[in-house]
């Protein structure tokens, strides 16, 4: 169970997240949609304290962190329970694909190097990148780099995977391969919280879709409700724009 209570984040005088409350069941796939600048990516970054919230409580499994009096040990435990896939891949440029996937297994989970390498090779096989194990990011396409990023998140076996617009930096020709890999991850009932502008993908993969606007969750429900029978006027306008 993932629980977000009263999550609030301000940048200066601007309130980016305004008292967000959300529960996510184990194995549930939740997709967040909405206009740019409405707090979607900030929500993900606050869930694992990459951005520190101004108020609120985050619970991921057995770990709870309260923004009002969070301690470093608690934040590290929260980050270990989550895995983030970034817009810009976030790979180590000086490490091979294999080493990028191994890194957290060795440094965070303290696995023996041989075990970590075998796990990383299994993940590369699963993501269709076995032949790219020794390649550095600069020699990989955008789609391949993002698949390594997803593979890295898969490898650590986190309770919650966070995807921050994972296809937004990709050329159109590479979007499909990344979305296909995410579908494969989703089929394993991995708990996922996904920010995306890919509406068809959101409809296909989500158990529940959240529409955010103005730092709030305005409407939520199963994909059929959100896309076929939206209630809120702001959601209707948003869908008419992205459909057009």
CB 191 within 8 A of CB 2: yes
Residue 14: exposed, middle, or buried by beta-carbon count in 10 A (0-12, 13-18, 19+)? exposed
pLDDT on residue 120: 97
- For the chain, the domain total comes to 1
129-182 pLDDT, tens digit per residue, is 999 999 999 999 999 999 999 999 999 989 999 999 999 889 989 999 999 999
State the CATH number of the domain containing residue 83. Answer: 3.40.50.300
Q: Could you tell me the residue range of the domain that residue 192 belongs to?
A: 2-90+160-243
Distance CA 220, CA 217 (A): 7
In a domain, 65, yes or no: yes
In a domain, 220, yes or no: yes
Residue in this structure with the two tokens 């993501």, named with its chain if needed: 127
Q: What is the pTM of this model?
A: 0.93
To the nearest whole percent, how much of the chain has pLDDT over 70? 100
Residues of the chain predicted below pLDDT 70: 244
Q: What is the dihedral of CA 238, 240, 241, 243, to 10 degrees?
A: 120
pLDDT on residue 1: 83
In a domain, 110, yes or no: no
In a domain, 223, yes or no: yes
Distance CA 166, CA 99 (A): 21
């Amino acid at each position: 169970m993932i629980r977000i209570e009263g999550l609030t984040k301000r940048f200066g005088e601007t309130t980016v997240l305004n008292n967000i409350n959300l529960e996510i069941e184990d194995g549930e796939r939740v997709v967040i949609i909405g206009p740019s600048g409405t707090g979607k990516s900030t929500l993900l970054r606050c869930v694992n304290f990459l951005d520190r919230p101004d108020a609120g409580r985050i619970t991921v499994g057995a770990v709870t962190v309260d923004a009002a009096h969070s301690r470093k040990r608690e934040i590290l435990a929260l980050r270990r329970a989550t895995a983030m896939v970034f817009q810009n891949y976030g790979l180590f440029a000086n490490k091979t694909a294999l080493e990028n996937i191994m890194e957290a297994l060795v440094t965070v989970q303290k696995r023996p190097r041989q075990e970590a390498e075998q796990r990383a090779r299994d993940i590369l096989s699963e993501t269709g990148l076995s032949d790219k194990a020794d390649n550095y990011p600069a020699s990989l396409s955008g789609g391949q780099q993002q698949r390594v990023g997803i593979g890295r998140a898969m490898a650590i076996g986190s309770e919650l995977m966070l995807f921050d617009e994972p296809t937004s930096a990709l050329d159109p020709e590479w979007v499909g391969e990344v979305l296909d890999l995410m579908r494969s991850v989703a089929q394993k009932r991995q708990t996922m919280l996904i920010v995306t502008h890919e509406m068809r993908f959101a409809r296909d993969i989500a158990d529940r879709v959240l529409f955010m606007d103005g730092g709030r969750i305005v409407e939520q429900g199963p994909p059929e409700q959100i896309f076929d029978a939206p209630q809120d006027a702001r959601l209707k306008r948003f869908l008419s724009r992205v459909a057009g």
